[in-house]
Amino acid sequence: MAMAPVPEVVLTPVASFPEGYFLENLAVRADGSVLVTALLQKELWLVPEEPADPVLVHRFGHPVTGIVEVEPDVFVLSLTEGYTTHESQLVRLDLNGWRPAEPVSPEVVFTFADERVRALNGSCLLGPGVLAVADCFAGLIWRVDLDTATARVWLEHDTMADDPDSGVAPPPQPGVNGVRYSARTGYLYYTSTAQQVFMRVPVDPDTLDPAGAAEFVAAIDNADDFCVDEEAGFAYVTRHRANTLDRVPLVPRHGSEVRHLAGDPFDERLAGPSSAAWGRDGSRVLYVTTDGGTTAPPDGIVRKAALLRAELRPGP
């Protein structure tokens, strides 16, 4: 079967942040505004739908990574001291009725006591009140049941391992990084940066536990987070140190079918892409965060971090 044509990607900067900001993850709200986590700065920002400067929502006491909408306008964020003490928590943030510039009151809903926890990274919703949280230095995915405030290892696999001896400039390459669950396909998908793979795991729709072994889908280096296009059958993956947005099939195929969509040749707007999420208006638009090359300056230059709008247009 012939592959779908590669779409044209039109990038539009939406908001910029100072040089040195590490924008890690994002969530698009129902009103079209975008919440963005800044890892190193320990901050959560709001980018309004209408053109306006980003608004600081809250400054946490720990680095902040993943963010998931668990109920309408209610979000759970991952806080983790991945490079030091490994202290890790989940906090709940209810933005119903909230207006920008008003104070917020994050609530700690879970503190990891399991000594295996190392560094929380990407996260997603498996079902009502049930999260999958990648632990990129422990090499596993946690299952967290918010209703009972319990956590256990959802799956551990060799492809999730980090690589402290990768030879790349610090910080060290994480293992399992981005995670996304698709109830429509019945799989949880994940990237592993250090192992250079895109994988999938079948999920039991009743228990939400793995229903089989992790399965190789495609080889891809420098992969970070991604969003899933269930209808077209692809994931759109940010390649953080490689400065590209790539299309990866959701099912294993023969041969290499990973395709660059943007960033090749190098586009300075896409320096250090870290995550991607669909817009909420039903259009072929996704949002991409970048760190401006803070982690790995592509040409020795660190640029401003950014939130980008990426419109996917039909290819030739």
Whether residue 79 is predicted with pLDDT greater than 90 in this model: the reply is yes
| Contact call for residues 227 and 286 (beta carbons, < 8 A) | yes
Domain harbouring 34, CATH code: 2.120.10.30
Cis peptide before 63 (omega within 30 of 0): no
Based on the structure, what is the number of domains in the chain?
Answer: 1
Share the mean pLDDT of the chain.
95
- Reported as a single tens digit per residue, the pLDDT across 210-265 is 999 999 999 999 999 999 999 999 999 999 999 999 999 999 975 568 999 999 99
- DSSP class of residue 172 equals P
Distance, in Å, from the CA atom of 60 to the CA atom of 285, rounded to the nearest integer, reads 30
Listed in sequence order, the residues at least 6 apart from 58 whose beta carbon sits closer than 8 Å to its beta carbon are 43, 44, 93, 104, 106
Residue 282 has pLDDT above 80, yes or no: no
Position 46, amino acid: L
In a domain, 1, yes or no: no
Q: Are 139 and 126 in contact (CB under 8 A)?
A: no
CB distance 110 to 89 below 8 Å: yes
- Residues 67/76, Cβ–Cβ less than 8 Å: yes
pLDDT at 55: 97
In whole angstroms, give the CA distance from residue 23 to residue 45. 10
Amino acid 255: pLDDT: 54
- Residue 192 clears pLDDT 80, i.e. is over it: yes
Domain containing 14: what range? 8-313
Look at residue 3 and tell me if it is in a domain: no
Say how far apart CA 195 and CA 173 lie, in whole Å: 9
Distance in angstroms (rounded) separating the CA atoms of residues 80 and 88: 4
Q: What value does the mean pLDDT take over residues 114-128?
A: 97
Query: What does the pLDDT average to over 27-48?
Result: 97
The verdict on residue 59 lying in a domain is yes
State how far Cα 172 lies from the chain centre. Answer: 17
- Mean pLDDT to the nearest integer, 196-216: 98
Q: What is the pLDDT of residues 288-308, one digit of tens each?
A: 999 999 999 999 999 999 999
Note whether residue 296 is domain-resident. yes
| Helix (H/G/I), strand (E/B), else coil: 158 | helix
pLDDT bin (cut points 50, 70, 90) of residue 30 is very high
- Mean pLDDT value across residues 91-106: 96
- Within a domain: residue 290? yes
Contact 38, 289 (CB under 8 A): no
Cα–Cα distance list, 224 to 34, 179, 291 (Å): 19, 10, 12
- Which pTM does this prediction carry? 0.96
**pLDDT, average across residues 186-197:** 98
Q: Is residue 48 part of a domain?
A: yes
Q: Could you give the CA distance from residue 64 to residue 75 in angstroms, rounded to a whole number? A: 13
Say what the pLDDT of residue 315 is: 75
pLDDT value of position 256: 62
> At residue 161, does pLDDT exceed 80?
yes
Exposed (0-12), middle (13-18) or buried (19+): which is 304, by Cβ within 10 Å?
A: buried
Tokens of 49: 């739908």
* Residue 58 counted as domain residue: yes
Residue 167's pLDDT band (cuts 50, 70, 90): low
Quick: pLDDT tens for 264-278. Answer: 999 999 999 999 999
Residue 110 is assigned to a structural domain of this protein: yes
